[in-house]
Amino acid sequence: MAARRAVNQSRRLPDSASIPLVSSLHPKSRSTPLLSVGLVLLGAFLLIGYSYSSSGGLASDKEAIHKGEGASCTSEVHRAIPFLKKAYGQTMRKVLHVGPDTCAVVSTLLKEDDTEAWGVEPYDLEDADSSCKRLIRKGFVRSADIKFSLPYRPKSFSVVIVSDALDYLSPKYLNKTLPDLARVSSDGLVIFAGQQRAKVLELAKFGKPVKLRSSSWWIRYFVQTGLQENEAATKKFEQAASKSSYKPSCQIFHLVS
């Protein structure tokens, strides 16, 4: 499992705000006791301020998504489900969702007629609520590091939906993760990716800056990976969305291998 905690920058502070460094600025002068006390107090305040900003001042990315501070494409999945149903029709019978808050997505999908759903949470499930734990016990939801091969056979699901996950992976890991997501889907892979104009936290869930890529970047990358646009699903989705004046806040790609 990839680490989700922000790096504690306060561990490096003694190198930049410690008393020996400040004292070394005047090696040939003899500081008065009053000046020394003042420098000690100043250093203490700086340490407290930096410690707060690096540890308590920033919430984790998953917490930010819950609070609506980040660009959550997982919440967009809930809004898009009716249009996905119209785009994929009967083929949307066995669905896998990959992304944070997958329990909520799976619960929504299970309420749809003739739809079975499973979920993969790329982060820990320690703070899962009772309904989510129930889905875990029944085997509908599991936690897995998507940088490695998913524990499913080829074409285990008709449609695979991914949100708030690929934006945090470098091409090094995308080269492995994207083909594996396509491997377990038989009729389509739907990717919800963040918009470049969206506001997001600087710290990513996988410990690296979030990578908000343009649609042209994604399209070139899909081609390089051997994926093609699912033109039929794209057309049906856009038509259904247009009739309901639905405008997604995330980029949505419909793909087939």
* Residue 112 pLDDT exceeds 80: yes
Region 64-80: what's the mean pLDDT? 68
- Least Cα distance to 72 among 194, 186, 170, 177 occurs for 194
Mean pLDDT taken over the chain: 78
pLDDT at residue 6 greater than cutoff 60: no
Model confidence at 211, pLDDT cuts 50, 70, 90, reads confident
Chain position carrying tokens 């051997």: 226
DSSP of 219-234: HHHHHHHT-EE-HHHH
Tell me the per-residue pLDDT of 15-43, one tens digit each, with 9 for 90 and over: 444 434 344 434 444 545 666 666 666 66
Distance in angstroms (rounded) separating the CA atoms of residues 100 and 105:
9
- pLDDT of residue 202 exceeding 60, the answer is no
Which amino acid, 133? K
Indicate the range of 46-60, 70-84, 226-240 predicted with least confidence: 46-60
The residue-averaged pLDDT of 159-169 equals: 93
CA-based R_g, the chain, Å: 23
CB-based contact 147:120 (threshold 8 Å):
no
Under a CB-based contact definition with an 8 Å cutoff, are residues 22 and 43 in contact?
A: yes
pLDDT at 194 over 60: yes
What's the pLDDT band for 186 if we cut at 50, 70, 90? very high
pLDDT at 195 over 90: no
pLDDT at 26: 46
pLDDT at 105 over 80: yes
DSSP code at position 63? H
Q: What pairs with residue 188 in β-bridges?
A: 159
Q: In which band, very low, low, confident or very high, does the pLDDT at 80 lie, cut at 50, 70 and 90?
A: very high
Instruction: Kindly report the pTM of this predicted structure.
Output: 0.70
Q: Give the pLDDT score at 212.
A: 82
Local confidence band at 72 (pLDDT 50, 70, 90 cut-offs): confident
Tell me the percentage of the chain whose pLDDT exceeds 90.
58
Q: Of how many residues is the chain composed?
A: 257
